[in-house]
Amino acid sequence: MQTDNPMPGHPALAALARSALLTAGAALVAMAAVEAWQVFARYVLNDSPGWTEPVALFLLNTAMSLGAAAGVRLKSHFGFFMLAHAAPPPVARALEVFAILVIAALGAVIAAWGVELLVDGWSIAMAGTRLPQSAAFLPMSVGGALMCVFAIERLVLALRPTATEAH
Amino acid sequence: MAVAILFGVFLVLLLLGVPVAYALLSSSLATLVYLGQPPIVLVQQTVSGAGTASLIAIPLFIFAGEIMMRGGISERLIALASSLVGHLRGGLGQVSVLSSLFFGGVSGSAIADVSAIGGAMIPQMVKRGFDRDFAVNVTMTAALVALLVPPSHNLILYSAAAGGGLSIADLFAAGIVPALLLTLTLMITGWLIAKRRGYAVEAFPGFVAVLRAFVAALPGLALVALIFVGIRAGIFTAVESAAIAVCYALLVTVFVYRKLRWTDFVDTLAGAARTTGAILFVIASAACFGWLLAYLQVPAAAVDLLTHIDADKNVLLLVMILILLALGTFMDLAPLIIICTPIFLPVAKAIGVDPIHFGVILILKGGIGLITPPLGSVLFVGTAIGGITIGEALKTIWPFYLASLAVLMLVTFIPALSLWLPALLK
Amino acid sequence: APAARALTATDVHTPGYPTVEALRFIGETLARETDGRLSVKLYHSGQLGRESDAVDLARFGALDIVRVNIGALNNPFPATQVLALPYVFDSTAHMRRAIDGAVGREILDAFAKRDLVGLAIYDAGQRCFYNTKRAIREPADLHGLKIRVPPSDIFMDLVRTLGANPTPLPYGEAYSALQTHLIDGAENNWQSFHTTRQFEVARHWSQTGHSFAPDALLLSRRTYDALAPDDRDRLVDVANRSVGYMRGLWDTSEEASRRFVLEHGVTANEVDRDAFVRAAQPVLERRRGDALVDKLYRGIRDLA
Ligand code: NA
Ligand code: NA
């Protein structure tokens, strides 16, 4: 995991990343509660609810997508950065810009196709819940859009003429 | 050609510094387009990749580990280890190793281990006259123990990558003997180095102090027992045990240790969310890559290739280990498990290796990759905490590499080390 | 002449299972009758993922042919619900009559709404309860038992209505869950009871036959449209012929599995079927609220 310090950036985007991270954290709390409820209901109520697994998976998707999106800004994604770190500054900067562009492009297509898939299965019920079958695509679509936004922020910072290497 | 695009784009992007998840997504997308497949499959598979029920345990164990790290459980586990083995030669180094065995049991993660134990131990070791490189190296290698003591979210990941048919309880049991073996080997290695470097020996604090430390650490130790017995006795599933771990850790830190304040809790949430995002997004983005591997029948080709080499079973196993070790030097553990299991498990099965045994080999081998350059998350975190460069650590880490490789070889070629305990518990 | 084409086909079962062999039959017959121009590339054992994903992949055109259980289709294709409902069919012969007639046709046609072509409906046997505790003879014997169910609204509803505690659990985890007594039982057909080795831990089989929930063979609409008219007709015809071939294999393998588990010490018992039919009635009534399901249900009962 790359563990560089969070970069300097726009305060509004910093707040956005923080809210994404805390929403993901709240999803983790809810996941623990939902799974613990399944155990409680099985033994104490002797009636296992069918909704816990699909709901926990939806929360998992939420934690993953928002955590990963904030990770673009916090640079917490796994990677192999030795070449970029060893290269002379102009090359290193070109490599960084390239990586950011890849992230931005993928974030955009994830958001677009995610919405398409979301619409596709919206009217069908997911087994065990009243959620739409395609609800699983909602967090990923939001996450994809945020990835694109945070990548663009990093791009602006990287291309700024006075930008110094944050590493 | 499609296979070349899949692997080629992935490797080139990885080398250029594109994060693993995005390199996986890019190469999958390029291959889908080349094959004339609808590109929307990329997103469908990514979300589906995070849609496996057993994966729910992973973020929950990460969350539980964060709570324990910030809420006082890990501190007390280290104190217990310190009272037990602090007086041996290499004292605090031995404490690091034993703490990993205790704490690794609850955190399930080598990175959590090296942050929690390294953060507490390395500065103390330096203060008491140990060399920085020794402090960092012993702590980093010891963190590998966490991968094998239950719960291990990496073994859960392996079970999912293997198609979900492997018993998580058996996998957990299989990791225990190798974990103890690794602990013992590292303690001996640490002892030998400490002797050579002439580190001082401290006094034994007395049985009363040990007992006091044990009582203080009991809630943390009980968590390991709770998880293991709960799954074995069929009280809850592995996924549910992770939720129980979170609830239990919260109860202990809030009501028994009274350490976790609201601001700590918010930091815990943010930390857990950040790690969850990084790990699960790799898992999810590897799904389309894995789907394409299967679609292009790469696993079948690998089985064909390797089983047609006219060689002994053990030679083939060694070849596989070497390939995996090479991959492990530049891949992190989660993507390694996700990408390599579908390719190498069929080969292992074809040459008669038990899938449970193979899981232990894969995790231990992948764990060694975490402390080898160029990409090793434990190496990054450990050296950062210890305040030394990777180069400085590497100069003197080789005895620890040798020790863990020796354990890997023993675990690989003596299946009973992994399979004896699961069979006994059945 | 139209271009050569290898159609991708997926199944979550392993080689030797009748539906996998039926796909192989389709591939071999197509290749023989078109001199190798059309063939099938078979991905068995769930290599390409879960059934619910396979349906979407076929709809998008990423896969050509998918074999999935009707349970995975109940929500997107409500017409299929009638096939999974409890005690709709009196016997295997009754189910085959219904599937071969107008009801089967109407259900296969319903797949067109979401970019699929229904090719065939295959047997999946009678689903029965098995458990680690006791012989189930009447619904009251199920009370308090934790029974693993597939993630399907109908099955969860049925098990709850019969008085048991439905425990949703992934298919692959059922064996160890039976072993650790996390669950007391599950329900499935003879072949799955046998091949998952669950008979080693669940020693009581009770012939409830509460659902037939057959399998469906689906073709991507995009693939269908891309084929030459002659090839379309041939594929539909070969798929039709595979039904008879599959049924022969089914009957043999069902009997072999039944004999195997009984020889390995499982006790099987008959149940008070009328009592189960009565107890399951509320599930049936709830689903018959849907006009289409009700119409198909009456069509099936007319053939009883
Ligand atoms: Na562990
Ligand atoms: Na490495």
Are residues C160 and A47, on separate chains, in Cβ contact within 8 Å? Answer: yes
Contacts A126 to C, Cβ<8 Å: 75
Q: Using an 8 Å Cβ cutoff, are C272 and C138 in contact?
A: yes
Question: Phi and psi of B209, rounded to 5°?
Answer: -65, -40
Q: How far is the CA of B301 from the centre of ligand 2 (A)?
A: 27
Question: Tell me, what's the pLDDT at A167?
Answer: 44
Question: Tell me, what's the pLDDT at A3?
Answer: 40
Residue A47 inside a domain? The answer is: yes
* Range scoring the smallest mean pLDDT among A135-144, B208-217, C237-246: B208-217
Q: Which helix (DSSP H) or strand (DSSP E) does residue C146 occupy?
A: strand C146-149
Nearest to B59 among A31, A79, A96 (CB): A31
Are residues C156 and A50, on separate chains, in Cβ contact within 8 Å? Answer: yes
Question: Tell me, what's the pLDDT at A2?
Answer: 41
* Range scoring the smallest mean pLDDT among A18-32, A46-60, A150-164, C260-274: A150-164
Round to whole Å and give the CA distance between A27 and A22: 8
Assess C121–B contact: CB distance below 8 Å, yes or no: no
Question: Helix %, strand %, coil % for chain C, to 5?
Answer: 50, 20, 30
Question: Tell me, what's the pLDDT at A153?
Answer: 95
Helix (H) and strand (E) counts for chain B?
22, 0
Are residues C57 and B44, on separate chains, in Cβ contact within 8 Å? Answer: yes
CA-derived radius of gyration, chain B: 21
Question: Tell me, what's the pLDDT at C286?
Answer: 93
pLDDT digits 0-9 by tens, B358-401: 999 999 988 898 888 766 778 877 887 787 877 888 888 999 99
Total domains in chain A come to: 1
The stretches of B108-167 forming alpha helices (DSSP H) are 110-127, 132-142, 145-148, 153-161
Residue A53 inside a domain? The answer is: yes
**Following DSSP, what letter does each residue of B34-54 receive, concatenated?**
HHT--TTHHHHHHHHHT--GG
Are residues A53 and C156, on separate chains, in Cβ contact within 8 Å? Answer: no
Contacts A50 to C, Cβ<8 Å: 149, 151, 153, 156, 166, 168
pLDDT at B340 over 70: yes
Contacts B44 to C, Cβ<8 Å: 53, 56-57, 60
The three-class DSSP label of residue C204 is strand
Round to whole Å and give the CA distance between C84 and B233: 34
Q: Could you tell me which residue, B411 or B106, shows the higher pLDDT?
A: B411
Q: What is the mean pLDDT of residues B273-297?
A: 87
Relative orientation angle of helices B20-35 and B262-295, to the nearest 10 degrees: 30
- From B346's Cα to the closest Cα of chain A, the distance in A is 27
Q: Which helix (DSSP H) or strand (DSSP E) does residue B23 occupy?
A: helix B20-35
- Find, among C254, C256, C249, the residue nearest to C20 by Cα: C249
Are residues A50 and C146, on separate chains, in Cβ contact within 8 Å? Answer: no
Question: Tell me, what's the pLDDT at A63?
Answer: 96
Q: What is the mean pLDDT of residues A48-77?
A: 91
Residue A1 inside a domain? The answer is: no
pLDDT at C232 over 80: yes
Range picked from B254-258, C195-199, C276-280 for highest mean pLDDT: C276-280
Residues 207-246 of B with CB under 8 A from C: 231-237
pLDDT digits 0-9 by tens, A65-86: 999 999 999 988 777 777 777 8
Round to whole Å and give the CA distance between C117 and C111: 6
Question: Tell me, what's the pLDDT at B258?
Answer: 78
Round to whole Å and give the CA distance between B282 and C197: 34
* Range scoring the smallest mean pLDDT among A111-120, B223-232, C106-115: B223-232
Percent of chain B scoring above 90 in pLDDT: 23
Split at pLDDT 50, 70, 90, the class of A165 is very low
Question: Tell me, what's the pLDDT at B98?
Answer: 80
pLDDT digits 0-9 by tens, C102-150: 999 999 999 999 999 999 999 999 999 999 999 999 999 999 899 998 8
The stretches of A75-128 forming alpha helices (DSSP H) are 82-86, 89-120
Residue A2 inside a domain? The answer is: no
Contacts B299 to C, Cβ<8 Å: 47
pLDDT at C257 over 80: yes
Question: Tell me, what's the pLDDT at A163?
Answer: 47
Q: Could you tell me which residue, B327 or C142, shows the higher pLDDT?
A: C142
Split at pLDDT 50, 70, 90, the class of B311 is confident
What pTM value is reported for the model?
0.85
Question: Tell me, what's the pLDDT at B35?
Answer: 96
Residue A74 inside a domain? The answer is: yes
Tokens 């319903």 belong to C110
* Range scoring the smallest mean pLDDT among A19-23, B247-251, B259-263, C225-229: B259-263
* Range scoring the smallest mean pLDDT among A113-122, B371-380, C153-162: B371-380
Residues 224-243 of B with CB under 8 A from A: 235-236, 239-240, 242-243
| Structural domain for A138, as ranges | 11-166
Split at pLDDT 50, 70, 90, the class of B108 is low
Relative orientation angle of helices C153-161 and C273-288, to the nearest 10 degrees: 130
Relative orientation angle of helices B20-35 and B2-15, to the nearest 10 degrees: 150
* Range scoring the smallest mean pLDDT among B295-304, B351-360, B409-418, C202-211: B295-304
Count CB-CB contacts under 10 A for residue C252: 11
Question: Tell me, what's the pLDDT at B331?
Answer: 67
Round to whole Å and give the CA distance between C9 and C20: 10
Assess A77–B contact: CB distance below 8 Å, yes or no: yes
Round to whole Å and give the CA distance between B178 and B159: 18
Report chain B's mean pLDDT, rounded to a whole number. 83
Q: How far is the CA of B369 from the centre of ligand 2 (A)?
A: 4
Split at pLDDT 50, 70, 90, the class of B330 is low
- From C8's Cα to the closest Cα of chain B, the distance in A is 9
Beta bridge partners of C278: none
Contacts B231 to C, Cβ<8 Å: 180
Split at pLDDT 50, 70, 90, the class of C49 is confident
Round to whole Å and give the CA distance between C210 and B73: 51
Residue A3 inside a domain? The answer is: no
Amino acid at B387: G
pLDDT at C7 over 90: yes
Split at pLDDT 50, 70, 90, the class of A16 is very high
Contacts A122 to C, Cβ<8 Å: none
- Give the Å distances, CA to CA, from B282 to B135, B275, C92, C146, C179: 31, 11, 47, 36, 33
- Compare all CA atoms of chain A with the CA of C169 and give the residue at the minimum distance: A53
Round to whole Å and give the CA distance between C218 and C239: 10
Assess A126–C contact: CB distance below 8 Å, yes or no: yes
Assess A8–C contact: CB distance below 8 Å, yes or no: no
CA B231 from centroid of its chain's CA atoms: 20
Q: Could you tell me which residue, B202 or A167, shows the higher pLDDT?
A: B202
Beta bridge partners of A132: A125
Strands C5-10 and C65-69: parallel
Residue A4 inside a domain? The answer is: no
Question: Tell me, what's the pLDDT at C98?
Answer: 95
**Count of CB pairs separated by less than 8 Å, A with B:** 214
Question: Tell me, what's the pLDDT at C100?
Answer: 94
CB crowding C223-247: b at 16 or more within 10 Å, else e: bbeebeeebbebbbebbeebbebbb
Q: Using an 8 Å Cβ cutoff, are C5 and C38 in contact?
A: yes
CA C105 from centroid of its chain's CA atoms: 17
- Give the Å distances, CA to CA, from C105 to C98, C101, C112, C230: 9, 6, 12, 21
Percent of chain B scoring above 70 in pLDDT: 95
Are residues B273 and A140, on separate chains, in Cβ contact within 8 Å? Answer: no
Split at pLDDT 50, 70, 90, the class of B79 is confident
Question: Phi and psi of B229, rounded to 5°?
Answer: -65, -40
Question: Tell me, what's the pLDDT at B142?
Answer: 86
Q: What is the mean pLDDT of residues A132-154?
A: 95
Q: Could you tell me which residue, A138 or B290, shows the higher pLDDT?
A: A138
Round to whole Å and give the CA distance between C230 and C224: 11
Question: Tell me, what's the pLDDT at C28?
Answer: 97
- Compare all CA atoms of chain B with the CA of C177 and give the residue at the minimum distance: B234
Report residue C70 as tokens: 């009707």
Q: Using an 8 Å Cβ cutoff, are B69 and B112 in contact?
A: yes
**In what side-by-side order are the strands of the sheet with C116-122?**
C38-43, C5-10, C65-69, C215-220, C116-122
pLDDT at A64 over 90: yes
